Structure 1
């Protein structure tokens, strides 16, 4: 099963995207619908709301008087938070029940207006954000919901800002044209990403990047992409607080060109623990890669540094997740190399120049990787000298 979080500001077109995803067979779990269900007459949710806000929020026939409730909470942060503490747990519980009832091949889309505000992004394989210009959103709210421009502006201002949602987005759909144009974006997303992603999660397959080599210029979005994936790993391993995950490799070094592949490292106590966690990581969208080459990495001359290697099931975001024992030589070197290159401009510039030279000589990722090995031997020595001179130490790990 693929779990997708769908969000967007009010009036951005999120509902249109949900309808199109449903046309492709996705199961839509609409939080607004669930929020109404959990406060229907006779439910514990409605009883809690009445206890918190009084009988004045009920209609004559005992149903929830939504305008009356809205008048009590809109513009009152304390009242809004009190209502959210009642509604949000009930909605999440009902959504979890619907997830459990979905089939193993399902793409389940959770339509959650306040996905970012409620901190739920890390519980999904993918977060899709729908964005539209503010003036378009105001116009839609006036035309379709009967709001005044002032009311529409106030509703928009009460939600997360566009940049906050954008930071949480694995996929950003820009709704600044026709409905047909938005539908085309959704169709491409389903075909190119959601369907293969679901299949890869179900079969435990990582989506490997193309063999052809491409060195991209420094991308300021790499750290944010890494943080989103690390947050999912932390969520998946929340019952294993002894593990830690770090962004390593070239994409973790500002101003350094790199292959567009995010390298992360999960620190564990033993390789047996790494093997025990493989299924949890696979279910979270990071299945283990098979083969001896995935279990070992070359260290200093004559050394082999054992590890486990996982990759992303998401065809739209290549990831290497290196699982290493904390305190091992490979774990230490990965952190040391990253920090050395971040701190020493000459080392970073030298590596960038070497990358350009290797890329001109090698057209695939594998021969390029082999060509880099002598440089890593020199980097290990230079980084160790820098660590000794500066007193660098790797981060503490709870053993």
Structure 2
């Protein structure tokens, strides 16, 4: 199944997005509803809260008085952490139960208001953030929900700001226009990305590549890599493997095809098979069929073997190279990246070469090291630079 995390600030219209996704066929897990369920009257969660904070947090009917509890924990960090220690494990366990009950081909949307604040983004295949101007949110909270403006401002300030949410988002849905416009954006997301992503994930198939055009430099590439790396690291835990951003998108200011190259270092290539490959596939990075290698530098006989994975997500092409740590191919990828970062002249030459290679063969997957003689010359320059600077991987 495809796991989608949905979040947005209070008053952003997140509930409208969730409702539309349900209409389209998604299975919705509402974190707020789950949080109420695990502290319902008669539950172990409520009993533990009363034991921790006394019955002053109960209303006349014996249910949790959220306002009274909020008054206790809002300004007391220790009390808040005590409450979270009671509720968060129960919410996680109940959410896991609901996910396990969904069909294997389901698109499960977990509506979590504090997804970013509690660091849950890496646990999903995709994170969708609903973003709305603060002025619009305040208007909705005061005019439509009848909330006091000071209270509305306080609640907005207590949550992550837009910049922090965008950093965690694979998809940002802007909700500053009409409900119809929001529905159109959700429908397009469902049709173009979520449905094919789920199908690719279930079939363990890499999303078909684009045309391979060289794009302009995108300053968000490092941020996109960071999200991917966090997802990969979560999938491979408890193994603590080195993960690096490599290739042209790892070099600031360099134009490149819009494909994020990621390198995962394993002790040996035998460790790249079996459980590790399954975990990557389940996280949305299935193995690319066939045998993969890099050409040695300088050019010579033999091959530098590796494993290659891609992305099941049609909206974010990825080449994930699994190489043995300290192997020549692993070292070469890091050396090339760091030398190009340090040498603007060679960075410009590399860009021109990449453009020529793409124009000559636009549909070829450039997942290995190209055979152009420039790469051998650059390797020698990079090795000289490494010796002069004391560079190490």
What TM-score, normalized by structure 1, do the two folds share?
0.94
**For residues 112-261 of structure 1, what are the structure 2 equivalents within 5 Å?**
112-210=112-210, 212-241=211-240, 243-261=241-259
CA deviation profile, 1:350-384 (whole Å, cap 9, x unmatched): 21233344445554445998976322222211111
**For residues 41-120 of structure 1, what are the structure 2 equivalents within 5 Å?**
41-120=41-120
Structure 1 residue 271 corresponds to structure 2 residue 269 = yes
Query: Bigger CA drift: 84-93 or 131-140?
Result: 84-93
* Residue in structure 2 matched with residue 299 of structure 1 by the alignment: 296
CA deviation profile, 1:54-99 (whole Å, cap 9, x unmatched): 1111122211112211222334444333322221111111001111
CA contact (8 A) 1:222 1:251 kept: yes
CA contact (8 A) 1:358 1:368 kept: no
Residue 367 and residue 40 in structure 1: after superposition, are their counterparts in 2 closer, same or farther (change >3 A)?
closer
Residue 370 and residue 54 in structure 1: after superposition, are their counterparts in 2 closer, same or farther (change >3 A)?
closer
Residue 356 and residue 31 in structure 1: after superposition, are their counterparts in 2 closer, same or farther (change >3 A)?
same
Residue 146 and residue 390 in structure 1: after superposition, are their counterparts in 2 closer, same or farther (change >3 A)?
same
Residue 197 and residue 119 in structure 1: after superposition, are their counterparts in 2 closer, same or farther (change >3 A)?
same
CA distance, structure 1, for counterparts of residue 205 and residue 160 of structure 2: 35
How far 1:145 sits from its partner (Å)? 2.5
**For residues 34-45 of structure 1, what are the structure 2 equivalents within 5 Å?**
34-45=34-45
SS of residue paired to 1:307: strand
* Residue in structure 2 matched with residue 374 of structure 1 by the alignment: 373
CA distance, structure 1, for counterparts of residue 83 and residue 259 of structure 2: 42
* Residue in structure 2 matched with residue 397 of structure 1 by the alignment: none
CA contact (8 A) 1:230 1:245 kept: yes
* Residue in structure 2 matched with residue 329 of structure 1 by the alignment: 328
SS of residue paired to 2:372: helix
SS of residue paired to 1:332: helix
Number of residue-to-residue matches in the alignment = 390
Q: CA RMSD in A?
A: 1.7
What TM-score, normalized by structure 2, do the two folds share?
0.95
CA contact (8 A) 2:307 2:323 kept: yes
Task: Give unpaired runs (5+ residues) of structure 1.
Answer: 395-399
CA contact (8 A) 1:8 1:130 kept: yes
Task: Give unpaired runs (5+ residues) of structure 2.
Answer: none
CA deviation profile, 1:138-183 (whole Å, cap 9, x unmatched): 1111123221111101100000011000000000000000111101
CA distance, structure 2, for counterparts of residue 272 and residue 357 of structure 1: 36
How far 1:49 sits from its partner (Å)? 1.2
CA distance, structure 1, for counterparts of residue 71 and residue 168 of structure 2: 31
Residue 366 and residue 197 in structure 1: after superposition, are their counterparts in 2 closer, same or farther (change >3 A)?
closer
SS of residue paired to 2:257: coil
Residue 357 and residue 80 in structure 1: after superposition, are their counterparts in 2 closer, same or farther (change >3 A)?
same
* Residue in structure 2 matched with residue 353 of structure 1 by the alignment: 352
CA distance, structure 1, for counterparts of residue 237 and residue 369 of structure 2: 37
CA distance, structure 2, for counterparts of residue 13 and residue 157 of structure 1: 17
CA deviation profile, 1:108-136 (whole Å, cap 9, x unmatched): 11100000000111000000000000011
